[in-house]
Amino acid sequence: MSVKVCKFGGTSMADGNIITRVKWIVGQDPARKYIVVSAPGKRYSKDTKVTDLLYKCHADLRAGKHITESFALVRARYNSIVRELNLGIDFDHILDETEERIEAENSENFTASRGEYLCARLVAEVLGAKFVDAEDVIFFGDDGTTDDNATDKAIRAAVEGADLVVFPGFYGKTPEGKVKTFSRGGSDITGAIVARAVGASVYENWTDVSGFLACDPRIVDSPKRIKSISYKELRELSYMGANVLHSESIFPVRSAGIPVQIKNTFRPEDEGTEIVPISRYVPSGDIVTGIAGMKNFTIISIEKSMMNSEIGFMDKVLDVLAREHISVEHVPSGIDTMSLVIESEQLTGLKTERVLEGIKESVHPDLIRITENIALIATVGHGMSSSVGTAARIFAAIAHAGINIRIIDQGSSEINIILGVKNEDYERTIQAIYYEFFGQS
Ligand code: ASP
């Protein structure tokens, strides 16, 4: 029998009416047996997510204050949901217990995790489902990554014999028995882990959009919807800022070959986007699948004659960065040149000075130059590897728009071309590439 894991994001949990809609969606398909929920998100654009309210509680705790005042806002959110749902349960008791435990644990991760915990307790009540606490089934190892074997085993044991199960997303437990969260948006990862553990036929990820668009709709008006995308393409696009799905949530489902379906809670009839292994990928006929990007990178360019014949040159440069705990996004290189592309926020104040000095000392370059305010743009698509002239079309379109390209990097898989342009040219570059491949609608 087909089994589906459904993860509902924050906007699908924002108020009682939407949770009633979620109940309806779950009831539409008996395969929807395993439900993972985020904390209630924003109800309107100026609203605050419950997770952010909780981070504020922790900031108060750290400042030595009691959390009564800041936790009151969290209480109010849940109380209003309980009222809207007409649930005859004593949720105050659960809220009191939670407040006490937040004070006792005094941990940012623990506090932040309570948004999902409380929401899952509520949703389990609404659905008449079994509640399984993530801290009892999602285990982190000593290196901070999840212990997949122990986790899968525990999830399977916990769901045994249950018809409908609700899990809170976003957190698990460390070997020391402490609650630890994933990075922001991490309930997507929980959903993927549960899907792997139960051997789901599909992982449905319910959001507030009807799937992926070929680029950011704030930059291009009504871009084309992507019907089907491979894990690999999605990984490239979400890494570069397309943020419908947490970029790490691909790994658990990819290893198990489970397709992901992005669905819209507010328009459940929409087809959405399907993310599939390459073996099931049906080419759409488009050369480019999507375009995504991010602003605010810094390029450190290094020049030295005969650099290519100097053994260990790159290692020495990268070692300087590793010592400063700086990760490098890309390293495009020429015969006597190499560039390091780094997120600007990693290079604050004195760090930049130390990096430049360190490089000068270790490799004695002829020239070292720093260029700030660079945006990176990735054009991604399996169609790109098989069609001749794609790069030429991208470059011609950008040249036509009068934009200067600062760096070019093509991944070895040939499904990705990354370009660096000035921050101020970011939007126009995306528009130029989009219109070249999808036309001006
Ligand atoms: N509630 C968490 C966040 O706001 C995790 C999630 O929504 O997936 O980041």
The residue ranking higher by pLDDT, 385 or 134, is 134
- Separation of alpha carbons 114 and 53, rounded Å: 11
- Give the pLDDT confidence of 59-97 residue by residue, as tens digits: 999 999 999 999 999 999 999 999 999 988 889 999 999
Judge whether 286 and 228 are in contact, CB under 8 Å: no
**What type of residue sits at position 142?**
D
Query: Which of these, 382, 402, 384, 381, lies nearest to 393 by C-alpha position?
Result: 384
For the Cβ of 10 lying below 6 angstroms from any atom of ligand 1, the answer is yes
**Angle at which helices 68-85 and 108-127 pack, to 10 degrees?**
10
Q: Which atom of ligand 1 is nearest to the CA of 183?
A: 9
Q: Output the pLDDT for position 441.
A: 63
Distance 406 CA to ligand 1 centre (A): 35
- Name the most confidently modeled range: 32-36, 314-318, 336-340: 32-36
Distance 166 CA to ligand 1 centre (A): 16
Distance 249 CA to ligand 1 centre (A): 13
Q: Which atom of ligand 1 is nearest to the CA of 246?
A: 8
- Separation of alpha carbons 47 and 410, rounded Å: 41
Q: Which atom of ligand 1 is nearest to the CA of 115?
A: 1
- Give the pLDDT confidence of 257-272 residue by residue, as tens digits: 999 999 999 999 999 9
- Give the pLDDT confidence of 164-197 residue by residue, as tens digits: 999 999 999 999 999 999 999 999 999 999 999 9
- Is residue 332 predicted with pLDDT exceeding 80? yes
Q: Output the pLDDT for position 245.
A: 86
- Is residue 386 predicted with pLDDT exceeding 90? no
Q: Note the pTM of the prediction, 2 decimals.
A: 0.85
What is the rounded average pLDDT for all residues in the chain?
Answer: 94
